[in-house]
Amino acid sequence: MNKAIIYVFSGTGNTMKICGLYKDAFEKNGVETTLYKVKAGFEDLPDPNGYEYVGFAYPIHAFNAPKIMLDLARALKRAETSKRYFVVKSSGEPLKINNISSYKMRSILKKKGYKQFAEYHYIMPYNMIFRHADDVVARMWRAARTLAPLEAKAVLEGKEHMLKGVPFGHLAACIMRIEHPAMRVNGRLFKVNKDKCTQCGACAKNCPVGNIEMKNGKFRFKGDCLMCARCSFNCPVDAFDIALLNGWRVNGRYDLEYAGEPQPVKHGWYCKKAYARYFARAEAAENKLIEIEAE
pLDDT digits (tens, 9 = 90+) for 153-184: 999 999 999 999 999 989 999 999 999 999 99
Calculate ∠ Cα 110-92-27, nearest 5°. 60
First to last CA, the chain: 31
Residue type, 221: F
Architecture of the domain spanning 3-166? 3-Layer(aba) Sandwich (3.40)
For 281, the 3-state DSSP assignment is: helix
For residue 214, give the H/E element and its range: strand 212-215
pLDDT at position 288 is: 77
d(CA 263, CA 258): 11
Q: Tell me if domain 3-166 and domain 178-248 are identical in fold.
A: no
* pLDDT tens, position by position, 90-110: 999 999 999 999 999 999 999
> Which stretches of the chain score pLDDT less than 50?
none
CATH number of 178-248: 3.30.70.20
pLDDT at position 292 is: 62
pLDDT at position 82 is: 87
pLDDT at position 1 is: 82
What's the gap between Cα 66 and its chain centre?
Answer: 9
Contact 21, 27 (CB under 8 A): no
pLDDT at position 72 is: 98
* Structural domain spans, the chain: 3-166, 178-248
Quote the pTM value: 0.95
